[in-house]
Amino acid sequence: MAAAERTEGSCPVLPLASGRSIPVLGLGTSHRGGYSHDAVVYAIQNCGIRHIDTAKRYGCESLLQKAIKESGVKREDLWLTTKLWHSDYGYENTKKACLESCERLGVEYLGLCRSIGVSNFLISHLEQLKEDCVITPHVNQVEYHPFQRPQELVDYCRSRDIVFEGYCPLAKGEALTYPSIIQLAKKYGRTPAQICIRWSIQNGIVTIPKSTKAERIEENCKVFDFAIAEDDVEVLNGMHDGRHVSWDPSLVVFYILI
């Protein structure tokens, strides 16, 4: 894993330039069938998940409030990420949108805002941002899986103390049926999903697989009791072919990640 990684509880964390630390494994949600109340509660209560990723656009912030309360875990023990929409541009609009997200989530802070970041930013976007902003983003959240490993962007972010966070670590299921990944899963006595998630984390990427099924979430979390050998990591690294299962970030709309 990344040299800077340390552990709090059962899930390792990575330090941010903001002075805080983000769990390397989280639970993703989405606006397309990406939310289950029971699954979120189970993830927090039974799987040790302390990192939840959502967005204003997903429409489930209010639902997460109920799940978080039911979980019984204190707010200060959770890392909550949400994202604003491009229409929230401008200081006053952004502040208002942040407060509205806090209200829907039932929290007093997301860090209003203790750590900030961006999503789907390429090097060109980050360079442009550098010209317009005083604060460097603490996180850049981008699609990351064996078929989409933008190492140049990862290296750029690390050189500027920006933590790289990867979504779609299973390539929306495409990676689960890939022969080489299935072969590695058999070799390590794991599932293809666990191989992909473990590979991502070993590459120093904060990883947020999405699932609405408790058993899948439990499976996805069991990735800290084994390691993939370096030669097998290189096999997985070599699968990069540039494909996107989400969308092409060269068409990025500027989000705000909290």
- How far does CA 191 lie from the centroid of its chain? 20
Instruction: Tell me the residue type at 220.
Output: N
Instruction: Indicate if 35 belongs to the active site.
Output: no
The CA–CA distances, whole Å, from 12 to 148, 157, 203, 205 equal 24, 20, 13, 11
> SS3 of 189, please?
coil
Q: Do 139 and 16 touch, CB atoms closer than 8 A?
A: yes
Q: Do 239 and 203 touch, CB atoms closer than 8 A?
A: no
- How far does CA 173 lie from the centroid of its chain? 17
Which DSSP helix (H) or strand (E) runs through 125?
helix 123-132
Q: Do 85 and 79 touch, CB atoms closer than 8 A?
A: no
Q: How far apart are CA 206 and CA 167, in angstroms?
A: 9
Alpha helices in the chain (DSSP H): 37-46, 61-71, 91-105, 123-132, 151-159, 179-188, 192-202, 214-221, 230-237
Q: What is the CA radius of gyration of the chain?
A: 17
Strand partners, 52: 27, 80
Tokens for 114?
């203790």
Tokens for 148?
């989409």
Q: Which residue in the list 58, 144, 167, 178 is annotated as catalytic?
A: 58
Which residues carry out catalysis? Answer: 58
